[in-house]
Structure 1
Amino acid sequence: MIMMPSGDEAFTSEFHAALRDNGIPPCPEILQRINAEMQKEEPNLRHLADMICRDVGLSAGLLKTANSPFFGTRQRVASVTEALMILGLNKASQAVACVALHQAFPNLRHIERFWDASARIARLSGWLTQEIHWPNVKAEEAYTFGLFRDCGIAVLMQRFPDYEMVLADANRNGERCFTSVEEDVMPTNHAVVGAMLTQSWWLPDAICNAVRYHHDLAIPTPPDDVTVTLVAVAHVAEHLVQEISGLSQTREWQKLGESSLQQLDLTEQHLSDLCLGASKVLAEH
């Protein structure tokens, strides 16, 4: 484990630069192509579809994601070309990023358990957004943020074998900010690293900011309503997952639960009322 020299900003900057070059998965070529097409007056959807179809896992994952209830397709998507046409490039880019994230860490120990937890939070985040209809957040944004929220953990687990011990300590700490516990022994934290990944993968600014600040009690000003809502929705989703499944217990709800409920104008009674529907959503997958 790399120890952080106290207050050494130059070292921290060098560390992040090294991690960006040799640790954070590069933006997949297909996301770069989609972003390039989005800048054109007439994007070539057929060319993009051909590229996606060359990767069987990516094309299958895109169709599965596009047909999930959180991406708002009213008709069944049967082909990659249809997915691009119906979703549009903004939504399609997020859907492709969700699939590509899984592919970016193929040999990481315990990764399936990690993705399963992230997928549960993502599904419930998307469902909550549809169930309660917060006007400033779309279901696909909440779903995408749920998947990418802790992607920095995957990066650090892959880069530093001892990081799992740091993660366990942070999960057990019911008083200090999660990222502060990480920074006791590292010159970074998973929220910063996750934001570096999401920015390099061209995800929307609100999602990148939400990844960066999702453990902060107060998100730095100027506050972005979408960012703050995304963070709060995911905290509620994680709490419901833990209450329903009894798995992956952390101490984050006791630190951030009250502020999350206030942000979303929810009460503990609302949570109780949502539990049955949330249980059905989790049971469907």
Structure 2
Amino acid sequence: MAITLTQQEKLILKQVALPPRPQALLDFAAETKQPEPDISKIAKILQSDGAISAAVLQVVNSAAFRRNREIDAIDQAIMMLGLKRIIPLVKAVALKSSVKTSAALATFWDDQTKIAECCAQLALRLNKPGLSNYAYMLGLFHFAGVPILYQHFKDYDCVFEFAEQNGWDKANVFQSQQYNTCHATIGALLAQQWGLPKAMIYAIYYQHDMEDLYSSGELDEVGLDLLSILKIARSACYGDKYQQDWLVATDQICDHFNLSDDEVTELIQDIMLA
């Protein structure tokens, strides 16, 4: 598997600036890769960035993760969740402060946070608790290419207008025709630059190429789990909006999770009421 870039995309990417990882995230990543990571040092690194530490605590205490008691300190969060589970959450919340949005996209991160929370809950309800943190991260990261392209192309509003009428799967193709690149590619490159797992990178890259994706071998089992969870979460959050995208994915997702249409519909309704 590989992210394929056209020559035109390579030229565009020289002009589109992908946001770098914050220094706290770089220091955090370096320490977590040590043979014996120092938990107290990791906690201090995260505490050095107030926005990241506050956001991590907000996430771990949210309904999406069903904590029995409130976690009120970063070191406590690390000890209770473990580094393996805290790493994707730290990367996820760091993204929100790094990818800037204009006034026209005022609710963008609110929408992505809602989707991320639904993703985490779905992972639990589908008996895949080990994926909940990564599902949350995918929920935040999967549309990160949108505000980046919005800042670069002054007429990017036309993509939103197109998506309103035709769904984001077709809008992704529309972007490629208009700008010679699309938000799925930009988002995947950002995920790659930030050191996200390969399954996450390719789930972002292929999020709008659902036809025959489940039999193509382009995504491994974890990637398909995450992408399926994302699609269900988006349907739960947006309802009838972008329904075209959901209809394309429904049968493959039902087969993948061995669920009937009614069971998936009930799952969506439960998440909407949560």
Instruction: Name the TM tier (shorter chain).
Output: 0.7 to 0.9
Would you say how many aligned residue pairs link Structure 1 and Structure 2? Answer: 267
CA contact (8 A) 2:169 2:209 kept: no
Q: Structure 1 counterpart of 2:257, which letter? A: L
Per the TM alignment, residue 48 of structure 1 is displaced from its structure 2 partner at its CA by 2.5
CA contact (8 A) 1:170 1:182 kept: no
Distance change >3 Å, CA 150–CA 88, structure 1 → 2: same
Cα distance in 1 for residues equivalent to 2:185 and 2:111: 20
Cα distance in 2 for residues equivalent to 1:63 and 1:174: 34
Range with greater deviation from structure 2 (270-279 or 182-191):
270-279
Q: Structure 2 counterpart of 1:211, which letter? A: I
Cα distance in 2 for residues equivalent to 1:160 and 1:109: 15
Cα distance in 2 for residues equivalent to 1:75 and 1:176: 40
Q: Structure 2 counterpart of 1:109, which letter? A: A
Matched, 1:96 2:93: no
Structure-2 residue corresponding to 1:224: 220
Match runs of 1:147-162 below 5 Å: 147-162=140-155
Matched, 1:234 2:230: yes
CA contact (8 A) 2:61 2:71 kept: yes
Per the TM alignment, residue 39 of structure 1 is displaced from its structure 2 partner at its CA by 2.1
Structure 1, unpaired ranges of 5+: 1-7
Per the TM alignment, residue 185 of structure 1 is displaced from its structure 2 partner at its CA by 0.5
Matched, 1:126 2:120: yes
Per the TM alignment, residue 174 of structure 1 is displaced from its structure 2 partner at its CA by 5.7
Structure 2, unpaired ranges of 5+: none
TM-score computed with the length of structure 2 as normaliser: 0.86
The secondary structure found in structure 1 opposite 2:272 is helix
Per the TM alignment, residue 165 of structure 1 is displaced from its structure 2 partner at its CA by 0.9
Q: 2:190 aligns with which of 183, 193, 197?
A: 197
* Cα offsets for 1:245-285 (capped at 9, x unmatched): x6x5453112222322222222221134224421332xxxx
User: Identity of paired residues, percent?
Assistant: 26
The secondary structure found in structure 1 opposite 2:26 is helix
Q: Structure 1 counterpart of 2:142, which letter? A: R
- Which fold has the larger relative contact order, with Cα–Cα distance below 8 Å and residues 6 or more apart in sequence? 1
Cα distance in 1 for residues equivalent to 2:168 and 2:77: 45
Q: Structure 1 counterpart of 2:200, which letter? A: I
CA contact (8 A) 1:122 1:142 kept: yes
Q: CA RMSD in A?
A: 2.5
Per the TM alignment, residue 153 of structure 1 is displaced from its structure 2 partner at its CA by 0.8
Cα distance in 2 for residues equivalent to 1:157 and 1:175: 15
Q: Structure 1 counterpart of 2:219, which letter? A: P
CA contact (8 A) 1:71 1:91 kept: no
Cα distance in 2 for residues equivalent to 1:31 and 1:72: 26
